[in-house]
Chains A and B, each alone.
Chain A
């Protein structure tokens, strides 16, 4: 969603170089396939939704490499829904991201399915770990 240059920390053609110190930056290792906005910048945290939003139980996934322990982990990107787009810390990363006909790895989809109150508008995304990849 975020074009190169549109955001200081957005991805570039040079490729993915993850860090493990700042969760508000697009290159934080767990954000390797995030599309949208980092919830930590919107009143949420790395793994929790901001006040007043609705947490989706569904997600797309990616295998992200953690440079801190040299392990890869499966991240389930869950959206926080029911508010207009947060607008802060916009990121688009596409490590291992597949087209829409492989939806479990596709990140253009609004992954708000199953959120309370049928909330389907996109606010931000969290990056919780499912397990080791």
Chain B
């Protein structure tokens, strides 16, 4: 090329002269030096552009740094945007106190979020492909420091994640936060065991035709089975698995939603049906105990077509034993569409305490576990999180622009 560029007025020469005038010839030398490096190593695409010289990295009067998020408290939440099945997803860290987005992490296809119960880390189980949406599949667990959002563990797992609309309790940490369990659907139901502490995949555990993972101890979790039972699964690190199933606790035509509320700290599962019947499963003793189920909607409300609807339509506050359930007047078989109301009931008596009118369509709710809890109400359509006083329903903050189709809210203090 250089031999052909002898004419004084060719465009490359003009550009060189312009650059020389601008930055005193540094760029020309840079280009030559860069060319030599190029021949030896090939481009990395991340080096300083030498044609810009020192102007590009000059000293500033301000002193920019990379921020850390504050220490997480009970009002730290994570909002996941599965982006309507897109191959990349975003996960927003939000401070409920201020309604501020504190940071983000990137995930692959249908990444499943989790958070350690002491708040020190959070993470995602994720899937990426070598060529955007095709090519070599790679499943992995990524763990982040909850303040710096730096990766503190990147753990390869077999390409066995269950790819499904995001259900929080398909990927779950044990109570000591040292192990992670993730669900596999195909070719047969299994649960993957990951050693977070030592940053390595351990093994797959064989389980019956059961779904979801609710840990009650560091070597024990419960699942809900197709037959209508709960299975207690005890495992060791050698892969020995013991399974014990309870009696059937719901009828075949009582449909338990995909996204129950679960308090790891209280060992309480709150599981609504499409029609608003609440099943309570207490696993705090290490055995599944079924509480008194109750109906959220009165007979009159049922006649007026009040039913459950949304993506995460139920939340549980362990301090007050209050259950929050999204409901609205709706036709049968519209159970995944948003609701405009939340019904608050006492888990012990089943009695209604209050009803919250959002005045808008809400898809997912969660509640903070502090004494004056916040109610988090996420609108997938508006891509906005509304933060309300859980007692009064009064809006404290709104957090807009949360991706393409945000659906999931998780917290560490559940």
Interface residues in chain A, defined as those with a beta carbon under 8 Å from any beta carbon in chain B: 1-6, 11-16, 35-36, 82-85, 87, 90, 92, 94-103, 106, 108-110, 112-113, 117-123
Q: Please tell me if the beta carbons of B134 and A102 are within 8 angstroms of each other in the complex.
A: no
A86 to B201, CA, bound (A): 33
* Nearest-CB residue, chain A, relative to B379: A3
> Which residues of the other chain, A, contact B85 by a CB distance below 8 angstroms?
1, 36, 85, 110, 122
Q: Are A4 and B165 in contact (CB under 8 A)?
A: no
Q: How far is the CB of B302 from chain A (nearest CB, A)?
A: 15
Is B256 in contact with chain A by the CB < 8 A criterion? Answer: yes
Residues A84 and B87 in contact, CB atoms below 8 Å apart: yes
Q: Select A85's contact among B87, B186, B363, beta carbons within 8 Å.
A: B87
**Residue from the list A13, A85, A121 in contact with B337, Cβ < 8 A:** A13
Q: How far in angstroms is the closest Cβ of chain B from A45? A: 20
Contact B334 A117 (CB under 8 A): no
A-B contact pairs, 14 of them (CB 8 A): A3-B381, A6-B381, A11-B334, A13-B330, A85-B83, A90-B84, A95-B333, A97-B335, A101-B224, A108-B164, A109-B162, A110-B163, A119-B134, A120-B163
Q: Is the CB of A84 within 8 A of B331?
A: no
Whether B224 lies near A11 (C-beta < 8 A) is no
Min CB gap A64→B, angstroms:
12
**Nearest 7 Cβ contacts at the A-B interface:** A15-B331, A108-B165, A3-B381, A13-B330, A3-B380, A121-B133, A110-B163
List B contacts of A83 (CB < 8 A).
133-134
Listed residue (A90, A99, A118) with the most chain B CB atoms within 10 angstroms of its CB: A99
Residues in B neighbouring A121, C-beta threshold 8 A: 87, 109, 129, 133-134
Nearest chain B CB to A50 CB, angstrom units: 13
| Smallest beta-carbon distance A70→chain B, Å | 19
Q: Say yes or no: A4 contacts B338, CB within 8 Å.
A: yes
B368 in the interface (beta carbon within 8 A)? no
Q: How far is the CA of A123 from the CA of B186 in the complex (A)?
A: 20
Residues of B within 8 A of A110 (CB): 85, 110, 163-164
Given contacts A13-B337, A103-B185, contact A84 B133 (CB under 8 A): yes
Partner of B132, one of A12, A84, A117: A84
Determine the distance from Cα of A95 to Cα of B274 in the docked complex, in whole angstroms: 13
9 further contact pairs, Cβ within 8 A, besides A94-B333, A100-B167: A3-B338, A3-B379, A3-B381, A5-B361, A5-B381, A11-B334, A96-B333, A110-B85, A112-B163
